[in-house]
Structure 1
Amino acid sequence: MAEHDVIELLTAQHGQIRDLFDEVEQAPPDKVEEAFGRLTRMLCVHETAEEEIVHPYARRKLDNGPGVVADRLTEENRAKRLLLDLHRAGVDDARFWEGLAELRTAVMEHAHSEERDEFARLRERTSEAERRAMAAAVRVAESLAPTRPHPGTESAAANLLLATPLAVADRARELIRKALGRH
């Protein structure tokens, strides 16, 4: 069912994100950057898909939908900024672990709010067919999403205009780094 219901899919991804934080925290020093890269990628594609597919639907379907979504976007922007700061500083920065803990708290609080305030209400207001269609759309959005943080692209319109070019640039950057032997 997780593959076919958008709420189950995104909730399962919240669990994967929690696991990826654990992976970064438990990684040996020479594997932290690689683990942090996987976490970053997951966070970025997950949030982009929510911003493009789920939030616009929630705006229309939920009572006070615009308010619910505005709160989630504020949380997402904060997390993107924290993630970007961590990337700019790098995993060897003295404040990396403190910043990672702050990011984890922000992301997990956001996920909890999303599950409680948006997903639970969406489940009540949508049919199984609607949730299945959104799950398929989320998968497509994730395949085209940027893999690095880009604060300021929290709206569906900004994502639709910028996500694909940013995703191409991010994926090209990843290929170049791999070719040069850097993760």
Structure 2
Amino acid sequence: MAGIAASDADVVALLMRQHGDIRNLFDEVEKSEGDERRDAFRRLVRLLAVHETAEEEVVHPFTRHSVPDGEKVVEERLQEEREAKELLSRMDGMDTDDPKFLTELRTLRLDVMAHARAEERYEFNHIRRHADKERLASMASAVRAAEAMAPTHPHPGTESAAKNLTLGPLAAVVDRTRDAVRKAMGKDG
């Protein structure tokens, strides 16, 4: 595990760190303007997209099968994710200088942070109780692998491991191509 922070060797610690990174990116987007805001928002979109995909592929299946009432816990998280993805998808094509952007961003932030708190309380605590150290480490590795192959933009309606594994690779290629084109055209930092 050379090169991986000790905290990232545990899936819950890894995901909690990412929740902190997401909060920080929301701050950065809100406080910046122009190209800096656009670049920060692109990083936020990417982090949210890959983070949620990895949770859908790795974390939620474990919760469904290993946590009491896991099916209910996951279904509630998926509903929250679907709503946030729909808003994020609408915002993804929005000009970050649009006067409506910050209002939409604040709504998204409230939704995403409420979702993160629910995950931490209702899912992550149970994962810690029902997974040993080795399982937490293997899930962290699986999350990192899923994130490396995940789409970089939101795709509402793909909130399941099966749909992510079926549709995700094609969406990831399309998203990563779009990202490269944006960067080449100077529209992404």
- Do they superpose with TM above 0.5? yes
Partner of 1:143 in structure 2?
148
Alignment of 1:141-180 (within 5 A): 141-180=146-185
2:64 is aligned with 1:59: yes
User: What are structure 2's unaligned runs of at least 5 residues?
Assistant: 1-5
Runs of 4+ deviating beyond 4 Å = none
CA distance in 2 between partners of 1:135 and 1:7 (Å): 8
Alignment of 1:88-99 (within 5 A): 88-99=93-104
Matched-pair contact (CA < 8 Å) for 2:151–2:175: yes
Q: Which moved more, 1:2-11 or 1:23-32?
A: 23-32
Matched-pair contact (CA < 8 Å) for 2:33–2:97: no
CA distance in 2 between partners of 1:67 and 1:180 (Å): 45
Partner of 1:11 in structure 2?
16
TM-score by length of 1: 0.97
Identify the match of residue 33 of structure 1 among 38, 41, 50.
38
The amino acid across from 1:25 in the alignment is E
Q: CA deviation at 1:30?
A: 2.9
Q: CA deviation at 1:89?
A: 2.8
CA distance in 1 between partners of 2:33 and 2:156 (Å): 29
Matched-pair contact (CA < 8 Å) for 2:63–2:127: yes
CA distance in 2 between partners of 1:90 and 1:52 (Å): 31
What CA deviation, in whole Å up to 9, does each residue of 1:65-110 have, x standing for no partner?
0000000000001110110111233213221110000000000000
Q: Which moved more, 1:19-28 or 1:87-96?
A: 87-96
Identify the match of residue 78 of structure 1 among 74, 83, 87.
83
What CA deviation, in whole Å up to 9, does each residue of 1:143-168 have, x standing for no partner?
00000110001010000001111111
CA distance in 1 between partners of 2:67 and 2:16 (Å): 19
CA distance in 1 between partners of 2:93 and 2:40 (Å): 16
TM-score by length of 2: 0.94
The amino acid across from 1:120 in the alignment is N
SS at match of 1:3: helix
CA distance in 2 between partners of 1:68 and 1:111 (Å): 13
What CA deviation, in whole Å up to 9, does each residue of 1:102-139 have, x standing for no partner?
00000000000000000001100111111000000000
CA distance in 2 between partners of 1:69 and 1:39 (Å): 23
Matched-pair contact (CA < 8 Å) for 2:34–2:96: no
CA distance in 2 between partners of 1:44 and 1:90 (Å): 19
Q: Which moved more, 1:77-86 or 1:89-98?
A: 89-98
Partner of 2:131 in structure 1?
126
